[in-house]
Amino acid sequence: MLNKKTIKDLDVKGKRVLVRCDFNVPMDEELNITDDRRIRSSLPTINYLIENNAKVILMSHLGRPKGEPNPKLSLEPVAKRLSELLNKEVIFAKDDKVVSDKVRDIVSKMEEGDVVLLENTRYRKEETKNGEDFAKELASLGDLFVNDAFGTCHRAHASNVGVANLLPSAVGFLVEKEITVMGNALENPERPFLAILGGAKVSDKIGVIENLLNKVDSIIIGGGMAYTFFKAQDYEIGTSIVEDDKLELARELMKKAEEKGVKLLLPVDIVVAAEFKNDTEFKTVPIDKIPEDMMGMDAGEESIKAFTQEIKKAKTIVWNGPMGVFEMDNFKKGTEAIAKAMAEADALTIVGGGDSASAVEKAGYAKDMTHISTGGGASLGLLEGKVLPGIAAIDDK
Q: Where are the beta strands (DSSP E) in 179-336?
A: 193-197, 218-221, 263-265, 269-273, 282-286, 295-299, 316-320
Which of 353, 351, 356, 355 lies closest to 370, judged by CA?
A: 351
Model confidence at 261: pLDDT above 80: yes
Sign of CA dihedral 287, 292, 293, 295: positive
% of the chain residues with pLDDT over 70: 99
For 153-216, give the DSSP string: TTS--IIIIIHHTTS-EEE-HHHHHHHHHHHHHHHS--SSEEEEE-SS-STTTHHHHHHHTTT-
Active-site residue, selected from the candidate residues 5, 38, 246, 333: 38
At the fourth CATH level, the homologous superfamily of domain 180-383 is: Phosphoglycerate kinase, N-terminal domain (3.40.50.1260)
**In this structure, are strands 193-197 and 218-221 parallel, antiparallel, or unpaired?**
parallel
Model confidence at 2: pLDDT above 70: no
What's the DSSP call for residue 6?
B
pLDDT band, very low/low/confident/very high, at 76 (cuts 50, 70, 90): very high
pLDDT band, very low/low/confident/very high, at 377 (cuts 50, 70, 90): confident
pLDDT tens, position by position, 14-50: 999 999 999 999 999 999 999 898 999 999 999 999 9
Active-site residue, selected from the candidate residues 136, 201, 362, 386: 201
Which of 15, 17, 1, 372 lies closest to 172, judged by CA?
A: 17
Distances in whole angstroms, Cα of residue 50 to Cα of each of 45, 83, 110, 113: 9, 13, 12, 4
Active-site residue, selected from the candidate residues 172, 223, 224, 354: 354
**Please, which residues have CB within 8 angstroms of residue 54's CB and are 6 or more apart in sequence?**
12, 13, 14, 15, 16, 17, 112, 113
Q: Tell me what pLDDT residue 53 has.
A: 98
Q: Tell me what pLDDT residue 204 has.
A: 85
**Interatomic CA distance for residues 176 and 8, integer angstroms:** 11
Q: Is 38 a catalytic residue?
A: yes
Residues of the chain with CATH 3.40.50.1260: 7-173, 180-383
Model confidence at 318: pLDDT above 80: yes
Q: Tell me what pLDDT residue 355 has.
A: 86
Q: Tell me what pLDDT residue 201 has.
A: 86
Q: What average pLDDT score do residues 244-258 get? A: 96
Instruction: Kindly indicate whether the domain formed by 7-173 is annotated with CATH number 1.10.3720.10.
Output: no
Preceding peptide of 192 cis, ω within 30°: yes
Q: What average pLDDT score do residues 156-166 get? A: 97
Active-site residue, selected from the candidate residues 63, 113, 207, 377: 377
Q: What average pLDDT score do residues 75-94 get? A: 98
Q: Is 377 a catalytic residue?
A: yes
This prediction's pTM? 0.89
Model confidence at 210: pLDDT above 90: yes
**Interatomic CA distance for residues 385 and 350, integer angstroms:** 16
Average pLDDT of the chain is: 96
303 against 202, higher pLDDT: 303
Q: Tell me what pLDDT residue 1 has.
A: 53
What's the DSSP call for residue 79?
H
**Interatomic CA distance for residues 353 and 189, integer angstroms:** 20
273 forms beta bridges with 282, 295
**Interatomic CA distance for residues 287 and 64, integer angstroms:** 40
**Interatomic CA distance for residues 18 and 93, integer angstroms:** 14
- Asked if residue 266 lies in contact with residue 221, where contact means CB atoms within 8 angstroms, the answer is yes
Model confidence at 247: pLDDT above 80: yes
Query: Strands of 115-118's sheet, edge to edge?
Result: 90-93, 115-118, 55-59, 16-20, 144-147, 169-171
